[in-house]
Amino acid sequence: MSAEKLTGKGYRAFVLPPLAYAVTECASQFPGTISISPEVDTRLISDICLSLVGGGFKNICIFNSHFEPVHVQCIYEAIDRVKEASGVDIAFTDITRKKYSSRLVDVFQMGESHADRYETSLVMAIDPSLIDEERRRTLPRLPVNLVEKLFEQGLSKFKEFGMPAAYCGDPASASVEEGQMILERLSDFVLEDVEGLISGTGAQIHRGLYGRQKREEGQ
């Protein structure tokens, strides 16, 4: 969607396949979870970006939908490595930053963002065949604020959070319409960052809450 908007503005835009693996320790208590180390995560992202730079790409934007804090930190570290090695700035549309989260739906701002209404709506809009509709409609709301669990209580596993089925929030209230609206908004965020990168006004990146080791207020 963002690439189409950029093409419509006269830019040449390419979308790489998404990365299927990352640091995923929060879900490690659930069978089937595959996690990689932070070192591998950082190296994978930085190597891909450096390969793109080597191929002549000078404007690169990263978008992330996996909000595990260590993984987000890996993205920032990878960006720093690319800058140090090549001098090229990379945009990162980190929607855990207030700049973006304040413009998303209220449930995302509440911190209930794992298989919740926000994420379920997105999947319903992208590929509804991935949703078990019969089960989704029967799931009770589970009010778990991930930000509080991660940063204020220092917990690190979904079951410790009180999420025995790995979801929180209210996926039963998700909808295709809301998912389409969120996708539109997210694509606008990416467009905003890419245009800032191209114009030279958006190169500096301030780490959002999930991209810092410790929680800091007001940013």
pLDDT tens digit sequence for 92-122 = 999 988 889 999 988 888 888 899 999 999 9
204: CB partners within 8 A, 6+ apart: none
Q: Which residues of 72-81 are buried (b: 16+ CB within 10 A; e: fewer)?
A: bbbbbbbbeb
Per-residue model confidence (pLDDT) at position 209: 67
How far apart are alpha carbons 178 and 160 in whole angstroms? 30
User: Model confidence at 216, in pLDDT bands (50, 70, 90)?
Assistant: very low
How far apart are alpha carbons 29 and 18 in whole angstroms? 24
Q: In which residue are the tokens 């295709």 written? A: 176
Per-residue model confidence (pLDDT) at position 115: 95
Mean pLDDT of the chain: 91
Per-residue model confidence (pLDDT) at position 151: 87
How far apart are alpha carbons 148 and 111 in whole angstroms? 8
**Does the pLDDT at position 217 exceed 70?**
no
Per-residue model confidence (pLDDT) at position 212: 65
Domain ranges of the chain: 2-211
DSSP string of 25-93, one letter each residue? -TTTTSTT-----HHHHHHHHHHHHHHHHHTT---EEEE-----HHHHHHHHHHHHHHHHHH---EEEE
How far apart are alpha carbons 72 and 90 in whole angstroms? 14
H or E element at residue 161: helix 158-161
Summarize pLDDT for 57-105 with one digit per residue, the tens: 999 999 999 999 999 999 999 999 999 999 999 999 999 888 899 999 8
What is the pTM (predicted TM-score) of this model? 0.90
Per-residue model confidence (pLDDT) at position 43: 98
% of the chain residues with pLDDT over 70: 93
Q: What mean pLDDT is predicted for residues 146-163? A: 92
45: CB partners within 8 A, 6+ apart: 19, 62, 74, 75, 78
Angle at the Cα of 151 from the Cα atoms of 114 and 94, rounded to 5 degrees: 60
Closest by CA position to 94, among listed 219, 209, 216: 209
Q: What mean pLDDT is predicted for residues 36-63? A: 97
Summarize pLDDT for 180-210 with one digit per residue, the tens: 999 999 999 999 999 999 988 765 566 766 7
User: In CATH, what number does 2-211 get?
Assistant: 3.40.50.10310
